[in-house]
C-alpha cells in the first residue's frame, strides 16, 4: 500500500533565515575553505548495507519500480540543499491534509524581547547627487526590462506558479490584483515618471535613491524567480523527476527494500555519487552500492531542491543595496528606522518589519562547514540502500512542500500586519517585496 510522505516544519529545514550556499571544489575531495571530505582519522571503510545505520532508517514504502529512462547526468557545485533537506528524520506517516495544516505561520516577533531597549540609532545615510540618481534610474530600467523578458519567455505553467507563490495574496482562491507585468510596470513608470528632487534637498535625494534601490531589487528578484522556475521546467524535461510546484510528473514510488537490495550489484558507490557534485573521495576497501535508479532519483531531487532554495536565497541578495544604503545588515539590524516614503504612490514602506521578518537570523556559516560535515557524516557514513531510499523520500517531501510553506509564512506576514491595524495594500511595494523572498 502506498504511504504518503511524512514531513514537518523541522524536517523541511524551514527557519527564519538561510545560509549562503558554499561552493564545492572539484579537486581531491575538498571544499572551498574546508578540509578533505574524508580526513585521515575517518578513512575507514564506508558503511555496508548489512550494517546497522540507525533506528530511524525508514524502509521504503511499497510501490512500482523507480526506472525512468532517458536521464542525463548533471553536475552542479552549489548543493546547500543537501544540508537543510537531507539531515532530517522521516517521522510518522500522516495524510497530505495534515501536512498542509502543519505549514508554519512564522510570527513577526523574531527579535529578542529586549531589542527595543537598545540604544542603537540609525546611521547617517551617504549623500546623493543627481548623477547617482541617474545611474540608479538606468539600473532600474535594466532590471525592469529583464523581468519583462523573463515573463515573456516563460511558459504558461511557469507564469501560473509565479503568480501563486510570488504575487501577494491572502488565500489560494484569491485572484491576483492585476496582471504581474502590469503591476510592475505601474510602479516602474510611476517612479521613473516622477520629477527628480531639488539638487540641494539632501533628504529628498536620499529618499529618491532608496525608492529606486527598492524597486530595482524587486524587479531583479522577480526576474530571478521566473528564471529558477524555468530551470525547474527544464530539469523535468531532462530527467522526468517530479516537480510538484509546476504540477509536473508523478510522485516517486519505491519498491520494497528486498527488491531494491537485489539491484545493488550493479549499483553506485558513494564515490561515484559524490563525483557528480564535483567531489572526489578515495575510500579504502570495498564499499556498499545503491541501486542506480535510487541514486539517480536522489541526484535529481537534490538539483531540484537547490533550484527551489535559490528562489529564496538569491532573491534576498537583490535587496542588499537597499539595506546597505541605510546602514542595515545582519550585524546592524534596523532599530527605529523610519519608514521609507514611496514618492509615486504615497506608501509607507516599513523597513523594520520587512527586514526582521525576512532577514533576522540570516547568518553566514561559522565554525564547522555544515556541508562538509554532512558529506562526511551522513553521505559517506551512511551510504547504503536503506538510507538512500530514506533520503529520496525526505527530498521528495521537501520539494513538494517548500514553496507551499514559504507561501504560508508570507500570508502570515500580511495577517500580522492587518491584526496591528497596518493592513498592507496587495499592490504596494512592501507586500510585493515580501512575496518575492
Per-residue pLDDT, 121 = 67
The reply to whether 142 falls in a domain is yes
Specify the pTM.
0.72
The Cα–Cα gap between 103 and 410 comes to 12
* Nearest alpha carbon to residue 305 among 247, 222, 370, 235: 235
The reply to whether 177 falls in a domain is yes
The Cα–Cα gap between 50 and 62 comes to 20
The Cα–Cα gap between 367 and 370 comes to 9
Q: What angle, 0 to 180 degrees and rounded to 10, lies between the N-to-C axes of helices 180-193 and 130-153?
A: 160
> Given the C-alpha cell 532573491, which residue does it identify?
315
The reply to whether 12 falls in a domain is no
The Cα–Cα gap between 305 and 299 comes to 10
| Structural domain for 82, as ranges | 40-113+129-434
Going from the C-alpha of 349 to that of each of 4, 125, 147, 346, 416, the distances in angstroms are: 42, 17, 22, 9, 15
The reply to whether 31 falls in a domain is no
Per-residue pLDDT, 286 = 67
Per-residue pLDDT, 21 = 34
The Cα–Cα gap between 236 and 68 comes to 12
Find out whether 244 and 55 touch, Cβ atoms under 8 Å: no
Per-residue pLDDT, 71 = 43
Per-residue pLDDT, 13 = 35
The Cα–Cα gap between 89 and 100 comes to 18
User: How many C-beta atoms surround the C-beta of residue 183 within 10 A?
Assistant: 18
Q: What angle do CA 132, 191, 230 make, to 5 degrees?
A: 95
Per-residue pLDDT, 285 = 66
**Burial annotation 56-65 (CB, 10 A radius, 16+ → b, else e):** ebbebbeeee
Q: How confident is the prediction along the chain (437 residues), in pLDDT tens digits per residue?
A: 333 333 333 333 333 333 333 333 333 333 233 333 334 343 333 333 344 433 333 333 333 333 443 344 333 334 433 433 333 333 323 333 433 433 333 333 344 444 444 445 667 899 999 999 999 999 999 999 999 999 999 999 999 999 999 999 998 877 766 789 999 999 999 999 999 999 999 999 999 999 999 999 999 999 999 999 999 999 999 999 999 999 999 999 999 999 999 999 999 998 898 888 777 777 766 678 999 999 999 989 988 988 998 888 899 999 999 999 999 887 778 877 899 999 999 999 999 999 988 876 444 433 334 444 555 566 667 889 999 999 899 989 999 999 999 999 999 999 999 888 888 999 999 999 999 99
Per-residue pLDDT, 311 = 87
* Nearest alpha carbon to residue 342 among 227, 191, 175, 196: 191
The reply to whether 24 falls in a domain is no
User: How many C-beta atoms surround the C-beta of residue 422 within 10 A?
Assistant: 12
The reply to whether 9 falls in a domain is no
169: cell is: 495574496
Per-residue pLDDT, 333 = 81
The reply to whether 94 falls in a domain is yes
> Given the C-alpha cell 501560473, which residue does it identify?
160
| Total domains, the chain | 1
* Nearest alpha carbon to residue 267 among 390, 384, 379: 384
The reply to whether 52 falls in a domain is yes
Amino acid at each position: 500500500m502506498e504511504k504518503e510522505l511524512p514531513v514537518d516544519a523541522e524536517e523541511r529545514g524551514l527557519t527564519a533565515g538561510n545560509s549562503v550556499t558554499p561552493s564545492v571544489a572539484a579537486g581531491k575531495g575538498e571544499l572551498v575553505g574546508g578540509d578533505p571530505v574524508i580526513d585521515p582519522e575517518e578513512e575507514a571503510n564506508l558503511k555496508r548495507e548489512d550494517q546497522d545505520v540507525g533506528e530511524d532508517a525508514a524502509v521504503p514504502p511499497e510501490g512500482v519500480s523507480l526506472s525512468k529512462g532517458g536521464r542525463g547526468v548533471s553536475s552542479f557545485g552549489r548543493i546547500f540543499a543537501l544540508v537543510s533537506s537531507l539531515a532530517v528524520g522521516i517521522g510518522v506517516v500522516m495524510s497530505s491534509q495534515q501536512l498542509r495544516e502543519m505549514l508554519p505561520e512564522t510570527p513577526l516577533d523574531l527579535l529578542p524581547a529586549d531589542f527595543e531597549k537598545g540604544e542603537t540609532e540609525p546611521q547617517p545615510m551617504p549623500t546623493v547627487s543627481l548623477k547617482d540618481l541617474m545611474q540608479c534610474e538606468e539600473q532600474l530600467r535594466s532590471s525592469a526590462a529583464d523581468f519583462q523578458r523573463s515573463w515573456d519567455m516563460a511558459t504558461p505553467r511557469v507564469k501560473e506558479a509565479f503568480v501563486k507563490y510570488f504575487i501577494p495574496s491572502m488565500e489560494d482562491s484569491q485572484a491576483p490584483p492585476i496582471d504581474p507585468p502590469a503591476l510592475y510596470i505601474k510602479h516602474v513608470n510611476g517612479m521613473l515618471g516622477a520629477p527628480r528632487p531639488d539638487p540641494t534637498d539632501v533628504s529628498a535625494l536620499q529618499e529618491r535613491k532608496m525608492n529606486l534601490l527598492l524597486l530595482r531589487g524587486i524587479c531583479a528578484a522577480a526576474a530571478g524567480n521566473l528564471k529558477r522556475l524555468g530551470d525547474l521546467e527544464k530539469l523535468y524535461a531532462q530527467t522526468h523527476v517530479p516537480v510538484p510546484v509546476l504540477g509536473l510528473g508523478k510522485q516517486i514510488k519505491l519498491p520494497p527494500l528486498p527488491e531494491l537490495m537485489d539491484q545493488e550489484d550493479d549499483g553506485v558507490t558513494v564515490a561515484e555519487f559524490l563525483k557528480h557534485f564535483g567531489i572526489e573521495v578515495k575510500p579504502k576497501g570495498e564499499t556498499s552500492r545503491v541501486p542506480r535508479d535510487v541514486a539517480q532519483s536522489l541526484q535529481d531531487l537534490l538539483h531540484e531542491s537547490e533550484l527551489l532554495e535559490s528562489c529564496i536565497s538569491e532573491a534576498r541578495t537583490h535587496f542588499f543595496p537597499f539595506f546597505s544604503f541605510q546602514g542595515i545588515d545582519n550585524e546592524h539590524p534596523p532599530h527605529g528606522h523610519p519608514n521609507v516614503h514611496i514618492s509615486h504612490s504615497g506608501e509607507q514602506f516599513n523597513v523594520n518589519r520587512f527586514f526582521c521578518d525576512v532577514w533576522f537570523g540570516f547568518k553566514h556559516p561559522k565554525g564547522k562547514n555544515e556541508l562538509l560535515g554532512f558529506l562526511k557524516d551522513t553521505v559517506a557514513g551512511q551510504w547504503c540502500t536503506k538510507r538512500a531510499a530514506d533520503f529520496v523520500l525526505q527530498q521528495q517531501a521537501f520539494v513538494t512542500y517548500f514553496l507551499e510553506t514559504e507561501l504560508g509564512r508570507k500570508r502570515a506576514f500580511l495577517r500580522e500586519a492587518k491584526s496591528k491595524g497596518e493592513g498592507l495594500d496587495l499592490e504596494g511595494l512592501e507586500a510585493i517585496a515580501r512575496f518575492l523572498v
